Amino acid sequence: MVFGKKEIVGLDIGSSAIKLAELKEARNGYQLKNIGEALLPPEAIVNKVIINSGAVVEAISTLVKDLGVKTKDVAISISGHSIIIKKVSIPNMSEEELREAIPWELEQNIPHSIDNVNYDFQILPGESQEGNMDVLIVAAKKDITEDYIAVANEAGLNPVVVDVDVFALENMFEINYPLTDEVLALINIGASVTNINILKGGVSIFARDITAGGRQFTEWIQKEFNIGYDEAEKMKYSLRLTGISKELDRITRDFADLICGEIERTIDFFTTTSLKETVRKIVLGGGSSKVPYIKERLVERIGASVEIVNPFKNIIHDVRDFDPEYILDIAPKMGVVIGLALRRKGDK
């Protein structure tokens, strides 16, 4: 841990809500300074594209004001179809040579012109085929990235790190969970996107965003009961608390099947393309991880153990400042924002 590095605020611009977290580096680890969420109207961000930037800016500004955040430097992230993460195997070369080879590799691997993307890469440790090395390439569409930076700017903030959700999750996981050789999957089921990051020995060996999430479930409920977005969202939140009607139970099961089917397909793809690595454990999060049947279906379909993520596991949080019940309730959906709050200026 490096002391004295300037702290920055984690700002997760999700499609259902803005989440913000601030951490302080204490002698004995990280300490929670601030955490909160501001809901967005349904039409503000659709399929991860910012449609109503005014609503997003307002939600960010309100959250910053309500939480009394003074720091302006923030880490934001993007996810969904505007991101492409690819692992490629290329002949061993120096980092400099690699930097020159990457644009060519990108052209082969992405459907967009490389002029329209921002990209980064990382050489993966561990064994590859003889004479080759594995490189993880991340490309993000420039226009989408610029839209996310713009709303933060308009809210008076200064994005100094632009991350992607799957790697923020990995960052969060690293400081909260012990290193293991096991192949495990971090899965975050949000409103529009489900992020999957498969780690082996603490290193990402596969990452993908599936464009499916809880928003679809909300839309099904709206249609079935002929109600508005807010009411349908409320219904979802109370699924575990009140009795569930037969119709709602059917839709809930259908949704769990849809999401878990998508996750299963992605993990199957990973297994067949990775020399038969098997996911033994799933660490599950995102707001939609709370939907009944999801956890059970994943255990059945993937044959892995499933644990709900706790991004505050190793983060000191004073019970006088943060109600433990509140923290427990919000924990599963705070994975990305905690990962972002751990970033420091100058990080890639």
Ligand X SMILES: Nc1ncnc2c1ncn2[C@@H]1O[C@H](COP(=O)(O)OP(=O)(O)OP(=O)(O)O)[C@@H](O)[C@H]1O
Q: How far apart are CA 208 and CA 165, in angstroms?
A: 10
Q: How far apart are CA 96 and CA 170, in angstroms?
A: 27
Residue from 159, 287, 311, 339 touching ligand X (CB under 6 A): that is: 287
Q: How far is the CB of 188 from Mg ion (least distance, A)?
A: 7
From 151, 137, 40, select the one nearest 88 (Cα to Cα).
137
Q: How far apart are CA 127 and CA 125, in angstroms?
A: 7
Query: Would you count residue 14 as binding Mg ion (CB under 5 A)?
Result: yes
Residue from 36, 42, 80, 190 touching Mg ion (CB under 5 A): that is: 190
> Which is closer to Mg ion, CB of 10 or CB of 190?
190
Residue from 191, 212, 263, 302 touching ligand X (CB under 6 A): that is: 191
Q: How far apart are CA 185 and CA 190, in angstroms?
A: 16
> Which is closer to ligand X, CB of 35 or CB of 191?
191
Contact between residue 332 and residue 308 where contact means Cβ atoms under 8 Å apart: yes
Q: How far is the CB of 85 from ligand X (least distance, A)?
A: 16
Q: How far is CA 249 from the centre of its chain?
A: 27
Q: How far is the CB of 252 from ligand X (least distance, A)?
A: 9
Q: Which of residues 319-338 bind ligand X (CB under 6 A)?
A: 333
Whether the CA torsion 126, 129, 131, 135 is positive or negative: it is negative
Q: How far apart are CA 153 and CA 57, in angstroms?
A: 9
> Which is closer to ligand X, CB of 135 or CB of 192?
192
Query: Would you count residue 332 as binding Mg ion (CB under 5 A)?
Result: no
Query: Would you count residue 339 as binding Mg ion (CB under 5 A)?
Result: no
Q: How far is the CB of 12 from Mg ion (least distance, A)?
A: 6
Query: Would you count residue 298 as binding ligand X (CB under 6 A)?
Result: no
Burial string for 1-14 (b: 16+ CB within 10 Å, else e) reads: eeeeeebbbbbbbb
Contact between residue 279 and residue 267 where contact means Cβ atoms under 8 Å apart: yes
Q: Which of residues 16-35 bind ligand X (CB under 6 A)?
A: 16-17
The helix or strand, by DSSP H or E, that contains position 160, with its residue range, turns out to be strand 158-164
Residue with tokens 């500004």: 61
Q: How far is the CB of 336 from Mg ion (least distance, A)?
A: 5
Q: How far is the CB of 245 from Mg ion (least distance, A)?
A: 29
Q: Which amino acid is at 279?
A: V
Number of residues that bind ligand X (CB under 6 A): 22
Half-sphere exposure of 190 (CA within 13 A, CB side): 31
Q: How far is the CB of 56 from ligand X (least distance, A)?
A: 12
> Which is closer to ligand X, CB of 30 or CB of 293?
293
Q: Phi first, then psi: what are they for 125, rounded to 5°?
A: -70, 170
> Which is closer to ligand X, CB of 84 or CB of 90?
84
Instruction: Enumerate binding residues for Mg ion (CB under 5 A).
Output: 14, 190
Instruction: Enumerate binding residues for ligand X (CB under 6 A).
Output: 14-17, 190-193, 213-215, 218, 233, 236-237, 239, 286-288, 290-291, 333
